[in-house]
């Protein structure tokens, strides 16, 4: 849901379609992407805890090397800030790799992506890296694996649903893997940033000097489990840091509200909604009433930037060294958010580690082309870099670990 702004990259790499090649033995997996269905690596309900699946009709215990590997990368929408960030990191690695490659832009259209995968496979592209469009529809990944016709597939940047995770077993789906960021890691990284900042700057952040920080949290959608998880896990992490240093927990603006957050009423995670919410808040929670908002966090950078616009209209967070700066945190590390952090207008954001994704996808693709399994590739990556987490023996999922971004 970290969908922000536009992209200026060309739609496809200029490499021509290769001659068709023989398809590998068929493979498949059931996959229900959901941003927050699986907790962070190492938590009690980690991937692989689902019940044993029924025996698959087709299995594939030994991966097969590809003599003439050709990589197709499928983006869900290039006109998106997250994709822009990913492609900034992918580009140099793709160009430097030994693979002929082609990029496809689904333009946020599920059926367009399915058509592109069908086109790529029939055109001889035999390694597929897929950023799903409709990541909440279980059938999409099944359809893609059917269309892949036995080609190795790496799904990236979408977290699988644990209920269907067990269908993707290393022994039976050796050439299929998932490269994801745990939502719990994103949220806890944001919350820890919030707590660490407040511990270091509590006196200046506590504007009314009552020993407690008055906050609001901007959630993308009141009815979306992903938004609710991001919100609650971040608050829990921030409060844990504060408690560890002897400070009181954060206090929501409206003491009578049992939820402890404000949500985009349209469920679109938008900057416009965040701007409207904060402008409305500031009509009552302000310096004149001696109850000014003391911290703002948001589920994504877009909402954080909307909040920033509202704060600046109230002559806060100007980055001029003179105005009061309300601590403000987002998620996504978009170009606009990184700029706002560097200017002192935002306090921090969470970097989803696009460079880690790029390294993981390209290294794993190379390993699959050499005949390794996804599990083998992921285990080697996690063993050589702190950017990744992988547990041997579980379904083949590599977790790309997010990073805090602050001035």
Pairing of strands 176-180, 127-130: unpaired
Dihedral sign (CA 345, 190, 374, 38): negative
d(CA 230, CA 149): 36
In this structure, the dihedral spanned by the alpha carbons of residues 314, 319, 325 and 330, taken in order and rounded to 10 degrees, is: 100
Enclosing H/E stretch for 331: none
Q: In a 10 Å sphere around its CB, with 0-12 CB exposed, 13-18 middle and 19+ buried, how is residue 257 labelled? A: exposed
Q: Quick one: average pLDDT of 323-328?
A: 96
Instruction: Establish how many alpha carbons lie within 13 A of residue 93's alpha carbon, considering only the half-sphere containing its beta carbon.
Output: 20
Higher pLDDT, 318 or 90: 318
* Residue 52 DSSP SS3: coil
d(CA 359, CA 94): 10
Q: How many H-runs (helices) and E-runs (strands) does the chain carry?
A: 12, 14
Whether the predicted pLDDT of 158 surpasses 80: no
List, for residues 161-212, the tens digit of each pLDDT value.
554 455 555 666 689 888 998 889 999 999 999 999 999 999 999 999 999 9
List, for residues 356-378, the tens digit of each pLDDT value.
999 999 999 999 999 999 999 99
pLDDT of res. 60: 44
Query: What are the angstrom distances between the C-alpha of 66 and each of 21, 126, 151, 199, 282?
Result: 10, 8, 9, 53, 60
Instruction: Establish how many alpha carbons lie within 13 A of residue 382's alpha carbon, considering only the half-sphere containing its beta carbon.
Output: 19
- Token pair of 167 as six digits: 């269908």
d(CA 3, CA 269): 8
Percent pLDDT > 70 in the chain is: 79
Task: Give the contacts of 136 (CB within 8 A, at least 6 positions apart).
Answer: 32, 33, 34
d(CA 228, CA 185): 14
CATH superfamily of domain region 1-181+352-407: Response regulator (3.40.50.2300)
Specify the residue for token string 């992506």. 113
For residues 106 and 74, the answer to whether their CB atoms sit within 8 Å is yes
* Residue 404 DSSP SS3: strand
Return residue ranges of the chain for CATH 3.40.50.2300.
Answer: 1-181+352-407, 184-351
The DSSP symbol for 76 reads S
For residues 95 and 65, the answer to whether their CB atoms sit within 8 Å is no
Task: Give the contacts of 55 (CB within 8 A, at least 6 positions apart).
Answer: none
Instruction: Establish how many alpha carbons lie within 13 A of residue 342's alpha carbon, considering only the half-sphere containing its beta carbon.
Output: 7
List, for residues 64-99, the tens digit of each pLDDT value.
789 899 999 999 999 887 788 789 888 998 888 878
Task: Give residue 71's Cα distance to chain centre.
Answer: 23
CATH superfamily of domain region 184-351: Response regulator (3.40.50.2300)
């Amino acid at each position: 849901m970290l969908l922000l702004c536009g992209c200026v990259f060309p739609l496809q790499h200029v490499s021509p379609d290769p001659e068709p090649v023989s398809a590998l033995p068929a493979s498949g997996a059931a996959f229900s992407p959901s941003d927050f269905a699986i907790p962070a690596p190492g938590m009690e309900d980690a991937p692989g805890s689902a019940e044993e699946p029924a025996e698959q009709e087709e299995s594939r215990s030994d991966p097969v090397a590809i003599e003439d590997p050709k990589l197709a990368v499928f983006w869900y929408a290039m006109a998106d800030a997250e994709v822009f960030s990913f492609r900034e990191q992918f580009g140099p690695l793709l160009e430097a790799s030994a693979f002929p490659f082609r990029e496809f832009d689904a333009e946020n259209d599920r059926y367009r992506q399915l058509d592109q995968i069908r086109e790529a496979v029939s055109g001889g592209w035999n390694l597929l890296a897929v950023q799903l469009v409709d990541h909440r529809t279980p059938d999409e990944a099944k359809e893609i694996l059917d269309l892949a016709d036995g080609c190795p597939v790496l799904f990236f940047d979408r977290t699988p649903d644990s209920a269907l995770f067990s269908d993707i077993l290393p022994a039976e789906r050796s050439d299929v893997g998932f490269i994801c960021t745990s939502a719990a890691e994103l949220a806890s990284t944001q919350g820890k940033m919030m707590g660490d900042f407040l511990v270091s700057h509590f006196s200046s952040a506590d504007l009314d000097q009552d020993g407690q920080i008055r906050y609001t949290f901007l959630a993308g959608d009141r009815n979306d489990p992903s938004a609710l998880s991001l919100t609650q896990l971040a608050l829990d992490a921030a409060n844990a840091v504060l408690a560890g240093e002897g400070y009181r927990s954060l206090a929501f603006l409206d003491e009578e509200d049992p939820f402890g957050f404000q949500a985009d009423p349209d469920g679109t995670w938008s900057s416009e909604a965040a701007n409207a919410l904060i402008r409305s808040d500031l009509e009552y929670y302000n310096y004149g009433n001696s109850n000014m908002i003391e911290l703002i966090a948001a589920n994504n950078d877009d909402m954080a930037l909307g909040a920033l616009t509202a704060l600046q209209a109230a002559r806060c967070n100007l980055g001029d060294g003179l105005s009061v700066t309300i601590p403000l945190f987002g998620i996504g590390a978009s170009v606009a958010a990184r700029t706002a952090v560097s200017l002192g207008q935002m306090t921090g954001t969470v970097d989803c580690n696009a460079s880690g994704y790029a390294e993981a996808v390209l290294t794993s693709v190379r390993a699959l082309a050499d005949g390794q399994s996804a599990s083998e590739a992921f285990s080697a990556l996690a063993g050589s870099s702190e950017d990744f987490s992988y547990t041997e023996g579980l379904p083949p999922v590599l977790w790309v670990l997010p990073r805090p971004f602050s001035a």
